[in-house]
Chain A
Amino acid sequence: DQQVKQNSPSLSVQEGRISILNCDYTNSMFDYFLWYKKYPAEGPTFLISISSIKDKNEDGRFTVFLNKSAKHLSLHIVPSQPGDSAVYFCAASAHVYNSNSGYALNFGKGTSLLVTP
């Protein structure tokens, strides 16, 4: 059963506008959340993370918001640039051992972002 859900397979945004990528999770034990970016024919690369003790984390144009009560997080990219076009994966982990996955990251299915000029 998918514990991390990205319900939008794709998103198209104009250059300069805000991109908002959403992610929901079901496991209340998750306490660390990450976003990865993936270009074709490359491995995923770490973008930004947030611990459950925070509700916001910023790094340049990227901001992640966490709403624990709603089990929801979002990634905001402002302003969006054509080079941001990629697949974005949301991931979550718990610092409590899981018999199925240990402490491994659980990933969503990804959202393909296209930023058009």
Chain B
Amino acid sequence: DAEITQSPRHKITETGRQVTLACHQTWNHNNMFWYRQDLGHGLRLIHYSYGVHDTNKGEVSDGYSVSRSNTEDLPLTLESAASSQTSVYFCASSERAGEKLFFGSGTQLSVL
């Protein structure tokens, strides 16, 4: 079955470190997204991509970057981790832009 997987499931890091969260999907979807979930804020869009070599900033993109070198993967990089980036991160993909998203299981990131 097609799926979307995120790794690691849990990560603890120190402020100032670079961290990369992996996202891999086997749906063959062109559209991929990163969201973060925080109490009181719901799901907020960090970055998104509509195809290989396409990347775009979402509403909370400061301090994050993504790259899309193939259809299956959209890694999320925190350039210099900050305590404000402690959150649960969800990767998602969709077949058609603006329509149903399939989510991964999430990565719980703690920045100490």
Q: How many A-B residue pairs have CB under 8 A?
A: 63
Option from A32, A42, A101 in Cβ contact (under 8 Å) with B59: A101
Whether the pair A102, B35 counts as a contact (CB closer than 8 A) is no
User: Chain A: which residue is nearest B49 at the CB level?
Assistant: A102
Q: Which of A41-62 contact B (CB under 8 A)?
A: 41-46, 49
A34 and B96 alpha carbons, distance in the complex (Å): 14
Whether the pair A42, B105 counts as a contact (CB closer than 8 A) is yes
Known: A32-B98, A104-B48. A45 touches B40 (CB 8 A): no
Q: Which of B74-112 contact A (CB under 8 A)?
A: 90, 92, 97-106
Whether the pair A107, B97 counts as a contact (CB closer than 8 A) is no
Whether the pair B58, A100 counts as a contact (CB closer than 8 A) is yes
Q: How many residues of A contact B (CB 8 A)?
A: 27
Whether the pair A102, B101 counts as a contact (CB closer than 8 A) is no
Whether the pair B58, A43 counts as a contact (CB closer than 8 A) is no
Q: Scoring A residues 85 to 97 as 1 if CB is less than 8 Å from chain B, else 0, what string do you get?
A: 0000101011100
Whether the pair B42, A107 counts as a contact (CB closer than 8 A) is yes
Min CB gap B49→A, angstroms: 9
Q: Which of A72-117 contact B (CB under 8 A)?
A: 89, 91, 93-95, 100-110
Option from A6, A41, A43 in Cβ contact (under 8 Å) with B104: A43
Whether the pair A103, B42 counts as a contact (CB closer than 8 A) is no
A residues in contact (CB < 8 Å) with B: 6, 32, 34, 36, 41-46, 49, 89, 91, 93-95, 100-110
B residues in contact (CB < 8 Å) with A: 31, 33, 35, 40-45, 48, 50, 56, 58-59, 90, 92, 97-106
16 residue pairs from A and B, CB less than 8 Å apart: A32-B98, A42-B106, A43-B90, A93-B99, A94-B98, A95-B98, A102-B50, A103-B97, A104-B33, A104-B48, A104-B58, A105-B98, A105-B101, A106-B45, A109-B41, A110-B43
